[in-house]
Amino acid sequence: MYKKRIFGTPPEPLFNMRALGMSAELLEETLYVLAEENEKNMDNAMERQGFFRGGKTAEYFFLLCQELSLPSEARYLAIEIFDRFMAKHISELYEFIRSNTDENQKANWRDVEKRIKTQLPLRIVSCTQIASKLLSHYETITPNKARRFLNSIGSHYSTKSILKSELRILKTLDYYVLFSTPLAFLETILEILGHNDTKAQVKVLHDISMKVLDIVYLRHYELYAKLCMAATGEKCTKEDRQKLAVLASDNMLMAVSVIGTASYIVDQSMSDMVIEQLSCITQIPQDDILDFGTIILEIIL
């Protein structure tokens, strides 16, 4: 049945429409701001980040946002919020138990772990709530809507508990929850690519890149383990985890590698030219894009 939409999120950016799109100067400034934020994220990357970014967690967020008819940007932002919250939340709980003089520290920590696992659906929905509000989507997830969804999957919470969970996430992250997701990098770079070369198949690249980006999230752990292996020649050790966290925080590299992979899928004969242009736009060496893109392609195939 056709669903009438008044204020809907467009399925894709308005590529190659110079009369309606951003000017070259504004695109350059946007890329500069994203690059600065990317550098800051890499400098501040923590070893414990990334454990809740991919695999089943990403799949849960994808299905939830699909069920609630949220735009693609919402699911990526919700995952980023959840990953950072869980990393900090679990660390704080662990430090609290460890600093406790109680002799039953192990038993206390097991109880905390059980509570964390029980609350996972609530935390995931709360992170998605926050993401939907930050994107000003016309179908933001209200507490009542969140409660109905949680009840439908067997997690029964009151509206008050849902509001407290949302506040807990915001306080834990010091209210800093508006992150630029890999999708923002990807779409900005594609817009610049289309601006520089009007013959570029930007809309087709965007469509395929979105699918490739989903795979990068769903196979996150396998992908970065292969990257670590390629870089060090051996399995990722505890000492390598910090370097891996920095690499996983590089959204600019992820975006150009995803676009490079998509270009190879769309038209192998044009792939080298696209990667060359991506390197010129971002100043990321072509070899780095090829290495990352090759691993993504191996996982897809």
Q: Higher pLDDT residue, 256 or 246?
A: 256
pLDDT of residue 53: 87
Question: What mean pLDDT do residues 114-130 have?
Answer: 94
DSSP structure string for the chain = -----SS---SS--TT-TTTS--HHHHHHHHHHHHHHHHHHHHT--TTTTTTSSHHHHHHHHHHHHHTT--HHHHHHHHHHHHHHHHHHHHHHHHHHHH---S-HHHHHHHHHHHHHHHHHHHHHHHHHHHHHHTT-TT---HHHHHHHHHHTT----HHHHHHHHHHHHHHTTT---PPPHHHHHHHHHHHHHHH-TTS-HHHHHHHHHHHHHHHHHTHHHHHHHHHHHHHSS---GGGHHHHHHHHT-HHHHHHHHHHHHHHHH-HHHHHHHHHHHHHHH---HHHHHHHHHHHHHHH-
Place of tokens 């383990």: 225
CATH says 53-173 is which class?
mainly alpha
pLDDT digits (tens, 9 = 90+) for 211-254: 999 999 999 888 888 877 776 666 666 666 777 778 888 999 99
Question: What mean pLDDT do residues 165-186 have?
Answer: 93
pLDDT of residue 43: 86
pTM assigned to the model = 0.86
Say how far apart CA 135 and CA 10 lie, in whole Å: 13
Tell whether the model's pLDDT for residue 47 goes beyond 80.
no
In this structure, which amino acid lies at residue 184?
Answer: A
pLDDT of residue 106: 79
Judged by average pLDDT, the poorest of 45-54, 167-176, 178-187, 262-271 is: 45-54
End-to-end CA distance of the chain: 36
Tell whether the model's pLDDT for residue 84 goes beyond 80.
yes
pLDDT of residue 229: 74
Tell whether the model's pLDDT for residue 44 goes beyond 50.
yes
Q: Higher pLDDT residue, 79 or 234?
A: 79
pLDDT of residue 3: 45
Structural domain boundaries of the chain? 53-173, 182-300
Question: What mean pLDDT do residues 96-103 have?
Answer: 76
- Token readout for 15 is 């590529």
Band (19; pLDDT cuts 50, 70, 90): low
Say how far apart CA 90 and CA 260 lie, in whole Å: 36
pLDDT digits (tens, 9 = 90+) for 288-301: 999 999 999 999 98
Band (7; pLDDT cuts 50, 70, 90): very low
Q: Higher pLDDT residue, 198 or 175?
A: 175
Band (18; pLDDT cuts 50, 70, 90): low
Say how far apart CA 124 and CA 82 lie, in whole Å: 7
- Token readout for 123 is 């935390």
Within its chain, how far is the Cα of 40 from the centroid? 16
- Token readout for 82 is 């959840």
Instruction: Note the residue count of the chain.
Output: 301
- Token readout for 250 is 């590089």
Place of tokens 């752990």: 221
